[in-house]
Structures are given as structure tokens and as C-alpha cells.
A and B are shown apart, each in its own frame.
Chain A
Amino acid sequence: MSIIAQLEEAIKTGRVGPCVWFYLLLVMGRKKQLGGPVPKRLIAKALGRILLWTVNRNGKGNVVSLKAPYVRNAIILYAKEHKCYPYDGAQTSPQVERIIKAHMRAIMAVVRGWVRIAPPCNSDSPTVCQRHLMVRADWLRQFLSEFA
């Protein structure tokens, strides 16, 4: 049974640890080792969990701009706070940053999909919201808690 299949089953039936989402984003490019490509829904779920944690933790602001640096920082911060490897012993990890950077295209594709279905963050200039990947924080919170 592939790791992806096991993971999907574990998500369905039991509760998985918080670091699993981070590890999944780290190894998502390794089809061979994972026994197949990581489905987009699983990437979205992992990213959703991480961003939900970040948004809930950050109470400030009505609007969140889900640009690449924000998402990248959110992932790294999540790993640090949950003491996921290698942040269980180190404060920084250039390797993690490099891997996340390499996966940003796939990650941002998911984020852009969310932004597309989000209601306009500003009624005066809805295109600005799309352009800057801005979504309302309360909507994002509700959406991610339902979705992830």
C-alpha cells in the first residue's frame, strides 16, 4: 500500500499528527518514493490545515494577502511551532526553504484556485483582490475550516 493511500486512509479514519501536513508538502515531488503522485486534493488539504492554523493564530486584519512569501512563511512557521523536523533541533533550515520554494508553483496553483472562488475582498475594486491574491480573513477561516 503506498504512503499516499495510507495517508488518505488515516485522514479518513483517524487523526493524523500536525507535522504530517508539513512533511507531505516537503516530499510531494517524490512520486517514486510515495508510490504515486500526490493528489491535488491532498496538497490542498495540507496547505489548508497550515493556513488555517496561521490565520487563526494571527487575529489581526480583515484581509489576508495569500502571496507566495506569505504562504511560504506560513508553512515554515507552522513547522517551527509544531517542532517538526528539522525545526525540532534547528531554528533555520535552508534546505526546507529551498524545497518549499521548489514546490511553490504547485502550492500557489492551489491558493489561486481558492482566491478565484473567494468573494471580493473590496467592493470598490474586486480586480485588485484577485491580482494581489487578497481574501477576507473571515471567509478564509470559514472556508478552510470546512474544507481542510
Chain B
Amino acid sequence: MSQAQPQIQVKYDVPLEVRLEQVQKLLEQMGIRNVEPIAATAAQVKRMCVEVEKRRAARSYIMTVEEVMSFAGVSPYVVFAFQTQQGVVCIPDNNFIVDANGVYYVHKIDCRDNSLKCAQVADKVVDLLGIRRLVSSAVFLAIHPSEQELCKLGILPPTACKKKEKEKEEKTEKEEEKRKKTAVTQEELEPLERVALKKLTEELMQVQAQRRAAEEQKPKDPKAALKELGLGWLADLGEADIATLRSIAEDKMLLDALKDAEKRSAVRKFIENGFAPVTPAPQAPNIAKWSQKDIELFAKMTEDTRSFHELVMRYLEAEFGCDVSIIYDIMQDLIKQIGGCEQLQKMRRRFAT
């Protein structure tokens, strides 16, 4: 610092040491104690600090220290380096570090824990050194990125805040308009989509119902079905009988009947005999041995009968000489009153004795 001081100090109204003391006091007031003062060349400072604004680097009129001084104030060799999460942000920034031969007095401040406080410090320092014109909003935002908080504390100029607010408002308005538009189209689309969804669901239901019906109709594996029913012995009969087995497996009534061992063996014999009848078919009664009177009676009774029940009724009529329906009703009432056929048997036995 001492190398640079003799050249520049003459141009200042206030000696540099006095202002540096003020800076030191200010930092202490703000509660920042771990300030590392270092002396650095312009190249070192430029290397250390991040480039916040490229635009200024291109401006040709800031070329010499004198120009910087006339443009910004009186302290071109005092630099504050705020170490943030993103990098080291310098005030004044790289664009104003122009004296290649000068030595810069750098205050290195760690801002990684509390960048808002650093932004406040930067604001105060800028005021103290009178370099407001050198420091743009972008530099403060580089130290602490929350625009709202900086605006709230008055660190960012009100014009920038208003501009940002305006931009934000415009953006939100645009977004709202867009949302409204999409909402309108969605509302318009809804009825058709609802019907399409309904139709889609209906179609799916139909497909499922068809599939279910097909599954129900699908013949089960007869052998597996027989085994499930505990009739595995039928399944062992051979491939040739598969059609018969299927018909048996499908007929659950028949399978229930086949649980009887005798019937089962009969069916087995029937299948083993190539489906030929094992037991002789029931034959008509041999009425040739009957008496002539019985034959005539039987012939008379069977003449117009439509069922076995009617035949019995006619027999009763012939036997007792009464109207069939009366006998039938009396018999039913009697059996009901005495409590079933067993009681009837008992009564008969009692009458007999």
C-alpha cells in the first residue's frame, strides 16, 4: 500500500489512512472481525475477483487511475473482497482495477455464513468510500442473491427494485393469462374427454365380461376335474375315453352319483366295455302270465293315460269304485294327520292285531 500511496495521496482531500481507519471501525461496528488485509497487484486482484459485469470491461473510457478517480471518487486502491459461496466478489469490481503498477489494499471478508450481512457491509462501505457510482446492483446481487431482501433493506436502488417488480408483475400477468387460456380450453375439452373416457371404460368392461364368459365356457381339463372331485380312477382309463370323461366331468350330478362305490364300478365297467351296456336294460312287465281279467283291466287303464301317476289314479278308481281325486285327497290328508307313512304302517299293524 505504501508503494501506491505517495502517487495518489496528493489528489485526495482526506488522507487515505484516515479513511481506512474509518473502514476498520465500520467493520467492527458491523460485527465483522475476521478481516484479512492483504496487499495485491492489479493482476492478483483481477485473478481473485469474479467478473460480475462484462459490460463494463468493454467500456473504453475507464482506462487510467485518474479516470477512475474522476469517475468514482477518491479511493481507487481500496478493494473489498467478499468471499461468497459462488466466489469472491470485489468492490469495486474488476473493471475498475486498472493501475497495473499500483498496489491494492484488499480487505478479505468471509461471507459464506451470512451473505446478507456482507451485502449490508458492502452498502455501508460504498457510502463511506463514496464509490456508489462504481458499484452496480449486480455486484450486491452477486454477494447476496435474494433480490427481495436487498430491496427491503434499501441496498438496491429503488429504480432497480421497481423495475424488477414491474418485470415480475408483467411475468405473473402473462402467466395468469396463459393459465386462464389453458383453463378455458380445458373446460371446453372436458365434456368430450369425459364421454371418451366413459366410452373407453365401457369398452374395457365389455372386453372383461367377454373374457370372463369365455373362461367360464372353456372346458376344463376332464382328468384334472375328475381328480379334483376325488374320482381320479376315472381319469386313468386312457386317452381314448377323453370325450366320455369330459361329458362326465361336466355333469356334476352324475359325478355326485358316482361317489357311490357300486355305481362307480358299474360306470368303470361300462367304459371298459367300450360303452356297451353292462347291466341288461329294464324290460316291460311280462303280462302274458297275468290273469285275463288283470290284462283287460291293465289294457283299459293304460289306454289313454298320459303318466304313471294317472295310471295309479285309474287303478285306485277301479279298485275302490270312487272318484280318483277324492281318494287321492283323503289319502294325502290322512297321511298328513297321522304324521307320515311310518305312522300309517303302525296303524295298520294295530288294526291287524
Contact = CB atoms under 8 A, between A and B. Distances in A.
A3 B211 contact: no
B137 interface: no
Contact of B203 (A13, A23, A102): A23
Contacts of A26: 192-193, 196
A24 interface: yes
Contacts of B206: 17
A15 to B, nearest CB: 7
Interface in B156-206: 185, 188-189, 191-193, 195-197, 199-201, 203-204, 206
B207 A27 contact: no
A20 B203 contact: yes
Contacts of B197: 3, 23, 27, 30, 33-34
A109 interface: no
Interface string A7-48: 100100111110110011011001001100000000000000
B244 interface: no
Interface in A109-140: none
B210 interface: yes
A86 interface: yes
Interface stretch (A50-58, A60-68, A70-78, A92-100): A92-100
- Which interface class (under 10, 10 to 19, 20 to 34, 35 or more) fits A? 20 to 34
Nearest to B212: A14
A41 to B, nearest CB: 17
B215 to A, nearest CB: 10
- Which interface class (under 10, 10 to 19, 20 to 34, 35 or more) fits B? 10 to 19
Contacts, number: 67
Contacts of B85: none
B212 to A, nearest CB: 10
Which of B191, B192, B206 has most chain A Cβ within 10 Å? B192
B201 to A, nearest CB: 6
A6 interface: yes
B200 A23 contact: yes
A21 to B, nearest CB: 10
A24 B189 contact: no
B208 interface: yes
Interface string B223-252: 000000000000000000000000000000
Contacts of B203: 16-17, 19-20, 23
Interface of A: 3, 6-7, 10, 13-17, 19-20, 23-24, 26-27, 30, 33-34, 84-86, 93, 95-96, 98-99, 102
Interface of B: 185, 188-189, 191-193, 195-197, 199-201, 203-204, 206-208, 210-211
14 contacts: A7-B200, A10-B207, A10-B208, A19-B203, A20-B203, A23-B199, A23-B203, A27-B197, A84-B199, A85-B195, A85-B196, A93-B192, A95-B188, A99-B193
